[in-house]
Amino acid sequence: MTIYGLYIFNREGTCLLNRRYNQSSSSTSSKSAIQQQKLMWGLLYSLKDFVKQLTPNTLDENEQEPFHSFTTSEYKVHYLETPHGLRIVLTSDPALPRLHETLGQIYKLYVEYVVKNPLYTLGQPIQAPVFQARLEGWMESLPFFK
């Protein structure tokens, strides 16, 4: 069981961060990183709209978003959308359970080391070395990150 990738999108669909983990060069698609980002954004946008149409209007007051993950035979996509429209996506082995708490921790790191950084301009790709180092260190500490 492992994590394959991490995407962070803003509300407009701009990919702010894209990290690939635990993939051999033979398993990497011939698609460029930009094409993969566009495909992921389109998939999430379509799935979220589809789920919203099928979900009854009576959501639990603590549950803002009815779409959290989906699974195929090859991977699982875990999804978190913040109230400000930031979307955090992890792709993983399908055997992993729901990683909502993990996504929440990534969001906390983002707020602490990106949003509070006076040198960062919202909406731009994340270039903060402290955030990237903390994120990588934290991800590597996860028991299912191999």
Q: Which domains does the chain have, with CATH numbers?
A: 3-141 (3.30.450.70)
Encode pLDDT of 20-38 as tens digits. Answer: 887 654 444 556 888 989 9
Q: What is the DSSP string of 35-103?
A: HHHHHHHHHHHHHHHHHHHHS-S---TT---S--EEE-SS-EEEEEE-TTS-EEEEEE-TTS---HHHH
Question: CA 107, CA 113: separation in Å to the nearest integer?
Answer: 10
Q: What is the full per-residue pLDDT of the chain (146 aa) written as tens digits?
A: 689 999 999 999 999 999 988 765 444 455 688 898 999 999 998 988 888 888 777 655 555 667 888 899 999 999 999 988 899 999 999 999 889 999 999 999 999 999 999 989 988 999 999 999 999 999 988 887 76
